[in-house]
Structure 1
Amino acid sequence: MAFYDDMAVMALELITEFGQPVTLQDTTKGEYDPDTGSTPTDTVTERIAQGILLDFTGQEFQTNTLIKVGDKKLKIAAQGLDAPPSLLSKVVVQGRTWSIVPPLKEISPAGTPLLYELQVRS
């Protein structure tokens, strides 16, 4: 496993050098309180990751009908994240907020997460 641990560190270093900071936002809904008759505001948790935002290729548009014009491919280094992004997470890149479109791919040879590949849509 040490080999893939080293590869995860290398992926983070390369994406940090050639990519940019990405903010993952996870929202937790407030639970209804019957005593007060109110629902507290939602809690937004932000995590910083390193990622590379790319355009889809023409070949990918031809073979995947779920890709819409304006969608982007986002590759995020897994190293340093305490939890993977979820389909409910929002992603902020270059001041723009994106939603994650299924499927969310995890590249994890031998069970060691190296990279998350996301399709994002604004």
Structure 2
Amino acid sequence: MATFYDEMAVMALEMITEFGQPVIIRKTEVGEWDPDQSDKPPETTTEQMAQGILIDFTGQEFQNNSLIKQGDKKLKFAAKGLEWVPGLLNKVIVQGRTWSIVPPLKEVNPAGTPILYELQVRS
């Protein structure tokens, strides 16, 4: 079965690449603080590219979920080809705009094969 889901992951990436747009996923990690070196710990920023689709929430989704605020968007992007799994503390950059990820971060992952991530994002 893994082969079928691997094919689905490839197909999701191809379709989102054709109809979507580039997305940058930015992860910032705070290093260990050394009081002799500086007054704050060093930060390391890592970025990876993904292909995604940024869409509006529907009126029905607003009615059913009180955590959605005006201006929030839904971001779906392909899991295939990602170097690391996105996390809630990451930022995403779409169309030159930086968005924060609002919980929950949903992973479509049948039979242990990640195919798609669906996020609620807020700028």
TM-score (normalised: structure 2): 0.94
Whole-angstrom CA distance in 2 between matches of 1:17 and 1:105:
22
- What does residue range 1-122 of structure 1 map to in structure 2 within 5 Å? 1-122=2-123
Give the residue type in structure 2 aligned to 1:24: I
**How far off its partner does 1:41 sit?**
3.6
In structure 2, the residue corresponding to 1:80 is in which secondary structure?
A: coil
Give the residue type in structure 2 aligned to 1:84: V
Whole-angstrom CA distance in 2 between matches of 1:77 and 1:83:
12
Give the residue type in structure 1 aligned to 2:94: V
**How far off its partner does 1:39 sit?**
3.5
In structure 2, the residue corresponding to 1:13 is in which secondary structure?
A: helix
RMSD of the TM alignment (CA)?
A: 1.1
**How far off its partner does 1:36 sit?**
2.7
Whole-angstrom CA distance in 1 between matches of 2:72 and 2:42:
30
Give unmatched runs, 5+ long, in structure 2: none
In structure 1, the residue corresponding to 2:47 is in which secondary structure?
A: strand
Give the residue type in structure 2 aligned to 1:97: T
Number of corresponding residues: 122
- Greater Cα shift, 66-75 or 22-31: 22-31
**Cα deviation 1:24-46 (Å, max 9, x = unaligned):** 00001132113334435421111
Identity of aligned residues (%): 71
Give the residue type in structure 2 aligned to 1:3: F
